[in-house]
Amino acid sequence: MRYATAVNPPRPTSRSTGTGAGLSVAPPRSKRVLITGVGRFWGANLARQLERDHALDFVCGIDTRDPLGEFGRSEIVKGDIRNPAISRLINVTRVDTVVHTQVFGADRPGETSRTLHDQNVIGTMNLLAACAASPFVRKVVIRSSTAIYGASPRDPAFFTEDMEARAPLRDTYSRDIAEVETYARDFADRAPHAAVTILRFANSIGEQVDTAFTRYISGQVVPTHAGYNPRLQFIQDTDAVDALAHAVRSWKPGTFNVAGPGTITLSKFLRMAGRIQVPLIPPMLGPILHTLERAGLLYVQSRYDRTLKFGRGVSTDRMIEGLGFTPEYTTREAAEKFAAWIRTRRYHEGAESHADRELLDYVQRKMQQMPSLDAGLFGRLTPRFDPDRAGGAQNGDDDLATSGIATRVRGDAGLDDDVEDSVGDDLGLTLDDDDSAE
pLDDT tens figures, 365-414: 666 666 544 444 444 444 444 545 444 444 444 444 444 434 343 334 34
Given a cut of 80, whether residue 245 has pLDDT beyond it is yes
Given a cut of 80, whether residue 313 has pLDDT beyond it is yes
**Mean pLDDT throughout 124-134?**
95
Q: Is residue 395 part of a domain?
A: yes
- Distance, CA of 186 to CA of 352 (rounded, Å): 53
Q: Are residues 299 and 370 in the same domain?
A: no
Q: Is residue 51 part of a domain?
A: yes
**Mean pLDDT throughout 253-274?**
96
Q: Are residues 319 and 397 in the same domain?
A: no
Q: Is residue 20 part of a domain?
A: no
Domain count, the chain: 2
Domain boundary, last residue among 343, 376, 400: 343
Q: Are residues 337 and 368 in the same domain?
A: no
pLDDT over 90 for what percent of the chain?
52
Q: Is residue 46 part of a domain?
A: yes
Q: Are residues 157 and 292 in the same domain?
A: yes
Confidence of residue 324 (pLDDT cuts 50, 70, 90): very high
Here the CATH number for the domain that contains residue 70 is 3.40.50.720
299 Cβ contact partners less than 8 Å away, ≥ 6 residues apart: 107, 108, 109, 212, 215, 292, 293
DSSP 3-state assignment of 21? Answer: coil
Q: Are residues 150 and 45 in the same domain?
A: yes
Q: Are residues 252 and 399 in the same domain?
A: no
Q: What is the pLDDT of residue 359?
A: 67
| Cα end-to-end distance, the chain, whole Å | 33
Q: Is residue 96 part of a domain?
A: yes
Domain that holds residue 421: 353-427
Domain boundary, last residue among 343, 363, 383: 343
- Distance, CA of 328 to CA of 187 (rounded, Å): 32
User: What's the whole-model pTM score?
Assistant: 0.74
Confidence of residue 143 (pLDDT cuts 50, 70, 90): very high
